[in-house]
Structure 1
């Protein structure tokens, strides 16, 4: 229950910030273009808090925190007094209307730059992209990439951590091959050609890196317990933090993966665990809880977290920049995310990425909750990513979104006359239907991942 409330609160906070930025973009440019703004609302439904400024704009914080809007004076919607017609949205030039509509997504992009700028000035802790293992017969192994090598660049992008590595790899989806530069412990910098012919991301792919056969280095996981969950089988049967598990039913435990496999196969079954606790060796009978999988199969659950070995020196670094370099880093990373977002939309349409990879509000809420838990820098990074995605999504040429309005205004600019009201109304209905289907599919994916 706590996780649910935490994720929900984090989601509302993140969405509120990003919607405010988006709508303020529309609001600010509308005011500059001489349009009268009637209402600036964050959320929908019943107003909880309202106030007015000296120009008569009503500001609202509403009960349903799932979006927002800016209501402008518009003769197509309401009757407008003769002395205020020049203040209506529809009376402005098509160039002004394009600027007002485009300002929302552009505000999201600008906000992402500011967030990343702040993040890089605060300092970003990153994990050096050292390869832990290479899957046999994978694209990476065929290319000659090996474990213990450090990734330096993919294509034209220099990479410093695993997130940048993933982004750089995804930017080359659709290419026949990509140049990969690695630092080998013995041979120094080596150039490899990674074959990407026919590379796609299906339903069962854990990550783009795993799909080409690369597993990042992680410190070895021990069989010592670092955390015991409340109300878990481990707590119930007396396991404690610091216990080291050596034997289970007489079988020697040599790895955490081996122990996980035994526990998952032993739901509601008694297991005799031999552990060391300080200088003592103890035998404890434990019955793992039954936690069914998504497919309905029985799976054992103990409720413990293992202790990991320390990271080797130099594997974790902090990237920190001054105001000027930090700003350029923010611009560069924002542009990279914008480009990648549009490319991913294209890959979804062509089938190179499965639609099952789409996430909806639940996935975003979980990401928001996790990022807040990790601290300010992680939350800034998450906000920047979602801000870019919100901007890109709103630029899609669906008539109900900003991109659909822009499409109509660009057509009007070319034809020298507006698109008919009937055509626009039909487009809005189609756009609403497509948006509803996309949202429903993303929510379905979210529930399937729970």
Structure 2
């Protein structure tokens, strides 16, 4: 069933992105007076075909749904028999500015789609983890800044107190820190806890380019914090005998704040046979916090053979969430900004891969895209729209790369022509096309290898 969902979600995602991209080319070509011969969704043998009555364009759905194309009237096509009356409508006869506009229209349509989808997500509202921190590792950037864990971040700005921007969720914090880390800036983070509101100076000037990846927040010491609660209590265990109940939220142990499941379990193991006092909050309890005294039972650890304490309770971390929602105009502005941020990040990451500062394992292919399409679709339409926005931006950025056979390669030809007044010769275009094809095949092979490596955990 999951496989069917992934295939269906992948097909829908690719179909939407291809149609939007190619329709960008089609619409601007028509506006510029270019005759479009075919609009194809997919490659290979056509499965469905119909011809537009007014435009004369042949619309097709083809067998291989991994892309698409728009074929325009062009004298350079092999065997193109063009009537003299149609010559003014040929692509190659258009002014270079029109050709640039037609080429740009596809990637720009993908960026426009991402803005619209992000705006819809922001306007509808989404539940996200709150920007609450766990206790950072001792030598991390967050620890050096003074964070102890439990703080909720509310704003971030530069060290001079200017450009202070609110932080409304964990993902909001992530993007703002990512931007600052890329620019190697020092920032001020405003946060509050149970005692007040404080400003922390965070130095990101020495963050290595290699550290700016999907896991960079943890490398800086910024991990999501949450309350540790009791998920289940074993019958007859020390926890049950002491009165610990499912749903209890653990706040302190022997007067020390509980930093997380790992630290709490280590503390319990180290106190076999010795009573410990837990301060817990019980849902719907009118009496307030409770003190529960438990004596961990001594048991042999099967891994080490040493005697450790055990209370017989399963634990769970409850991460606080917030409902983030914006007005219509602010949603569009934030959608445009998020699209810009992701686009810039994608270009920077690709550039770092080229110079060896980032791993080529960051490249993903159709298998990974299908996997994430299925996962996001199962979570709901909001996560699926967010996923679709990310892939649409990636498609737009990829097509703008100055690689022949991609839109960016053609754009490069026309920019050279605009600057020099001379078109790039057909001989050079042929050479560059072959080189570009080799680059695309190599990138596709690497992406497919990464997909398979993730699939079989190689």
TM-score range normalised by the length of the shorter chain? 0.7 to 0.9
Deviation at 1:220, TM superposition (A): 3.4
CA distance 1:449–1:180, shift in 2 (3 Å): farther
Contact 1:223 1:244 in 2 (8 A): no
Aligned to 1:139: 141
Name the counterpart of 1:415. Answer: 420
Map 1:141-180 to 2 at 5 A: 141-151=143-153, 152-153=155-156, 158-180=166-188
Correspondent of 1:391 among 382, 389, 396: 396
Change beyond 3 A, Cα 1:422–1:244: farther
- The equivalent of 2:228 in structure 1 is 220
Q: Distance in 2 between matches of 1:43 and 1:417?
A: 34
Q: Deviations over 1:73-127 (max 9, x none)?
A: 0000023111111111000000000000000000011111111121122212121
**Which string of whole-angstrom CA distances, capped at 9 and with x for unpartnered residues, describes residues 308-337 of structure 1?**
4555xxx32222233223222222222222
Structure 1 pair 4–409 and aligned structure 2 pair: CA distance change class (3 A): same
Using a 3 Å threshold, how does the CA distance of structure 1 residues 49 and 220 change in structure 2: closer, same or farther? farther
Hey, what's the Cα distance between the residues in 2 that align with 1:348 and 1:190? 36
Residue in 1 aligned with 2:208? 199
- Contact 1:131–1:214 (8 Å) recurs in 2: yes
Match of 1:188 among 189, 193, 197: 197
Corresponding residue SS for 2:202: strand
Q: Distance in 2 between matches of 1:367 and 1:24?
A: 25
Among 110, 114, 117, the residue aligned to 1:115: 117
Residue 389 of structure 1: how far off its partner (Å):
1.2
- C-alpha separation in 1, matches of 2:184 and 2:340: 24
Residue of structure 1 in register with 2:131 after alignment:
129
**Secondary structure, in 3 states, of the residue corresponding to 2:135?**
strand
1:29 aligned residue: 28
Quote the Cα distance in structure 2 between the aligned partners of 1:362 and 1:165: 30
Are residues 358 and 75 of structure 1, via their aligned partners in 2, closer, same or farther at CA, if it must alter by over 3 Å?
same
Q: Pairwise mapping of residues 211-290 of structure 1 onto structure 2 (< 5 A)?
A: 211-220=219-228, 224=232
CA contact (8 A) 1:22 1:108 kept: yes
| Ranges in structure 2 where 5+ consecutive residues have no aligned partner | 239-249, 251-259, 266-313
Q: Give the whole-Å Cα distance in 2 for the aligned partners of 1:150 and 1:425.
A: 57
- Aligned with 1:79: secondary structure? coil
Q: Which residue of 2 aligns with 1:20?
A: 19
Residues of 1 paired with 2:418 and 2:342: CA distance?
A: 30
Per the alignment, do residues 358 and 165 of structure 1 end up closer, same or farther by CA in structure 2, a change over 3 Å counting?
Answer: farther
Identify the residue that residue 67 of structure 2 maps to in structure 1: 67
Q: Describe the shift of the 1:309–1:340 C-alpha distance in structure 2 as closer, same or farther (beyond 3 A).
A: closer
Deviation per residue, 1:238-282 (Å, 9 max, x gap): xxxx988979xxxxxx99879x9xxxxxxxxxxxxxxxxxxxxxx
Which runs of no fewer than 5 residues in structure 1 stay unpaired? 225-241, 248-253, 261-305
TM-score for the superposition, normalised by structure 1: 0.77
> How large is the Cα RMSD of the aligned pairs?
2.8
Q: Give 1 or 2 for the bigger CA radius of gyration.
A: 2
What's the offset of the Cα at 1:357? 2.0
Give, in angstroms, the shift of residue 213 of structure 1. 2.0
Contact 2:42 2:61 in 1 (8 A): yes
For residues 335 and 50 of structure 1, the distance between their equivalents in structure 2, rounded to whole angstroms, comes to: 37
The answer to whether the 8 Å contact 2:226/2:318 transfers is: no
Superposed, which structure 2 residues align to 1:270-349 within 5 Å? 308=316, 310-311=318-319, 315-349=320-354
Q: Structure 1 206/338 Cα, relative in aligned 2: closer, same or farther at 3 Å?
A: closer
Quote the Cα distance in structure 1 between the aligned partners of 2:261 and 2:207: 35
Q: Is the 8 A contact 1:169 1:208 kept in 2?
A: no
Residues 114/445 of structure 1: CA separation in 2 closer, same or farther (3 Å cut): same
